[in-house]
Amino acid sequence: MSHGEGGRVARTTARLLVRLRWWVLAFWAGAVLLSLVVFPALSSSHGSSDLSGLVPDDTPAVATELRDAEVFGFPLSGRTAVVQRDAAGLSVYDQGRTAVAAAAVTRKEQKGLGHVEGALPLSNALGVFPGSRENGTTSITYLLFRPDVSFGVQTREARRYADRFFGERDAVVGVSGSVPARDAQGDLIRDALPTVELLTLLAIVLIVGVALRSVVAPVVAVASAGVAYVMTLRLSGAFTALVGVSSPSELEPVVVALLLGVVTDYVVFYLTAMRAELRRGRPRLEAAEIASTRFGPIVLVAGLAVAAGTGALLVAESLFFRALGPALVFTVVVGLVVAVTLVPALMAVLGRWCFWPSHPRPSEESDDELADLFAPHRAPLLEQLMRRLTSSRAKAAQMVGACVCALAVMAFPLQGLGLGVSFVGSLPQTSGVKQAADAARDGFAPGILSPTTLLLEGSDLDRQRLGLVRLGSLLEEQPGVAGVLGPGDVVPRISRNVLVRADGTAARYLVVLDDEALGAAAISTIDALQERLDALVAEAGLVVTSAGLAGDTATAAYIVDQTSGDLVRIAIAALAANLLMLVMFLRAVVAALYLLVGSVLSLGAALGTTMLVFGNLDPGAGLTFYVPFAAAVLLLAFGSDYNIFAVGSVWDAARTRPLREAIVTAMPETVRAIFVAGLALAASFGLLAVVPLVPFRQLALAMAVGIMVDVVLVRSLLLPALLTLVGPVSAWPGKHLRAERAERAERRERPRRTPERG
């Protein structure tokens, strides 16, 4: 579609929205009411909280765990545990009761615990468990369940077990492990979500109200965001119920932040244009129509750029990203449809009341605006800054160099980037699950609550007991391994059919790591152990048919490896999608390329800062595996969003004046609007930190830093400097900037020649 045809379509659409404004409002009111009555709400309760749910069943770690459950009747993965600890020491009688209770449950001598298939006690007394930090202070009882038992049921059964077998004198700290931690995460997300929503709305009201000096403009923003919010969650809930798909519990807060932030962005863009037209003396309906004509296409293309950017997650192989991608795309599309239809209608209805009590009025200074910009003593700060940046290519080059260096320094910590999958470690210190986990780690080792299972299969393994013991010793000698629980380490009545099958066809070990089981360091240990596993089995003198690792850390290692593999695919798809949208809108390859490079530098700075902060707060844990990728696609998409808005305004101004004058004329107002929009968006994502979980705080910091770096450094300084430095070549392969410059130069020469010919 040519520019002229696109302009006609935009004008026609804007005119229809303005004329049918009351019908548009009625449509959205009816749609909201209908969705509230008919469609179910999206709820995290529909989502999967299982770590294995993030990977296919045919992955090695999951397949080994399923085989483990098939061979022994239940997996050995200790994801749910009852923790006892007394810093003064547990008595022999206390430890005896722990062992007797476990044996009774394993032999099915206790009723009311039907879901518990077995119990495996572990004490740090008398050096039974090598690598323990303390001696005789802590006992852990792993409760073993079938894979089909839900996390909520496992957590309740563990608490019932603790209440039944132990009293106050047994020093029970609580129930912990990755299963109770995951269950607690879901509760924390649900409890924090209303606070996140309320604080985000208050932040939007404050930012938009102060920036536009209005109490009505925030209402327009909140009303538009509210409509989009209801429609997104209700339509998503209907889709989830219809097709039966599950979504991770992490999605809903991210969806809320994205939706409120994006819609507020577009409301700010529209209202900024509306205010400018009212100041030029336009009547209410005409001002709304012109503002919608001018910024409707920009908002539409910018929204599609965000949707295309987030859609890059669809190329990933990770199940988590495949669930996250459609959710983000759907959120952006619904918000975009609401913004480009409802906001113009609201502007047409309210007119100057959008900005009450500071009604914008026609200003005589608008005719001399360009002259004011080039008068140093009269121009505001932003105009002075733009004038200085565009005064010469040398100054522009200096600014480009300074910005690039600053962004590179901020991105430097990315060299130490590690990825983890945190469950217990992400919980706040006030959580009972976290407190029990800390007690277990104090008595044993950091990886005690999510040990790795090693499953061996063969024949006559019960007759290879010396080899089994030797393998346990070899495993304990591996770097990063704190201790191993295997055949020969516990009493036979518990070991039989728990660690070794009675028919000798299988045996298994619990491998406890020196580091938090789902952190980056532990994952690195498991990767190394996996590489050496066959050699260790052979060195122990065992004859087996198969050997495999299972458990949270082994599964997390696969997730991180898969995520790293997705990096190239997601990066290519995201960059291609954003580059395509920039090229299509700007009709320029050169500008699109360096604008995209600026967004990548901003992204690197955001992730580097996040890695620096959380790397110091929790060394070795790394960033949660999905945080860098979710932040990357979102920040690249928002960068393209702001690029389209900023450069689109400069391109429009460059139709009637030289490029440098166009930058000085268009960029100040554009930068102001982008700053307000970016501040609202950064607040929306930054308030994810209210959710007291580490992954949300990592994502909140990455997004807030990335957005503010983008609007303050990249859009305000780097972008105008790059436009000045590259000049009209920015439009290549188009020649409209170069041709218009030559035509203006020729027009300036003609008056000088006419008197001479006369």
> What span, in angstroms and rounded, lies between the C-alpha atoms of 297 and 300?
5
Which of left, alpha, beta for 34 (phi over 0: left; psi -120 to 50: alpha)? alpha
Contacts of 104 (CB under 8 A, 6+ apart): 110
> What span, in angstroms and rounded, lies between the C-alpha atoms of 289 and 143?
66
**Cα separation values, 209 from 218, 333, 684, 693, 707, Å:** 5, 26, 16, 31, 20
**Cα separation values, 723 from 90, 370, 590, 646, 718, Å:** 72, 19, 10, 11, 9
How many CA atoms, within 13 angstroms, populate the side-chain half-sphere of residue 728? 15
pLDDT attached to residue 397: 92
pLDDT attached to residue 48: 40
Burial of 127 (0-12, 13-18, 19+ CB in 10 A): exposed
Whether the CB-CB separation of 509 and 544 falls below 8 Å is answered with no
Given a cut of 70, the residues of the chain with pLDDT beneath it are 1-7, 40-57, 78, 110, 112, 126-131, 237-251, 361-380, 488-497, 735-758
Judged by DSSP in three states, 131 sits in coil
155, 125, 128: which is closest to 143 by C-alpha?
Answer: 155
The residue behind tokens 């952006």 is 332
Give pairs for 282-286: CB < 8 Å, separation 24+: 284/348, 284/351, 284/352, 285/18, 285/348, 285/351
Whether the CB-CB separation of 355 and 213 falls below 8 Å is answered with yes
> What span, in angstroms and rounded, lies between the C-alpha atoms of 277 and 287?
5
Question: What amino acid occupies position 171?
Answer: A
Contacts of 33 (CB under 8 A, 6+ apart): none
Quote helix, strand, coil % in the chain, to nearest 5: 70, 10, 20
Question: What amino acid occupies position 666?
Answer: A
- Establish whether the linkage from the previous residue to 733 is cis, with ω within 30° of 0: yes
Cα torsion through 102, 108, 112, 113, rounded to 10: 50
Write down the pTM of the prediction. 0.80
> What span, in angstroms and rounded, lies between the C-alpha atoms of 663 and 426?
46
pLDDT (tens digit per residue) in 522-557: 889 999 999 999 999 999 999 899 999 988 888 888
Cα torsion through 379, 382, 384, 385, rounded to 10: 180
Give pairs for 466-473: CB < 8 Å, separation 24+: 466/541, 467/540, 467/541, 467/542, 468/500, 468/507, 468/540, 468/542, 470/539, 470/540, 470/541, 470/542, 471/509, 471/536, 471/537, 471/540, 471/542, 472/509
Question: What amino acid occupies position 53?
Answer: G
The residue behind tokens 């908002």 is 299
- Establish whether the linkage from the previous residue to 376 is cis, with ω within 30° of 0: no
Contacts of 154 (CB under 8 A, 6+ apart): 79, 80, 115, 143, 145, 179, 180, 183
> What span, in angstroms and rounded, lies between the C-alpha atoms of 281 and 708?
34
Judged by DSSP in three states, 409 sits in helix
> What span, in angstroms and rounded, lies between the C-alpha atoms of 161 and 111?
11
Burial of 633 (0-12, 13-18, 19+ CB in 10 A): buried
Sign of CA pseudo-dihedral 383, 385, 387, 393: negative
Enclosing H/E stretch for 24: helix 21-38
Q: Domains (ranges, CATH) in the chain?
A: 1-38+189-363 (1.20.1640.10), 57-77+80-176+429-560 (no CATH), 587-758 (no CATH)
pLDDT attached to residue 738: 52
- Could you say which DSSP state residue 245 is in? -
Q: What is the separation of C-alpha 564 from the centre of its chain, rounded to a whole number of angstroms?
A: 16
640, 646, 665: which is closest to 654 by C-alpha?
Answer: 665
> What span, in angstroms and rounded, lies between the C-alpha atoms of 621 and 695?
11
Judged by DSSP in three states, 226 sits in helix
Token pair belonging to 716 = 């305000």
- Could you say which DSSP state residue 593 is in? H
511, 496, 485: which is closest to 461 by C-alpha?
Answer: 496
Judged by DSSP in three states, 399 sits in helix
pLDDT (tens digit per residue) in 425-439: 788 888 999 999 899
Relative to beta strand 419-420, strand 623-624 is parallel
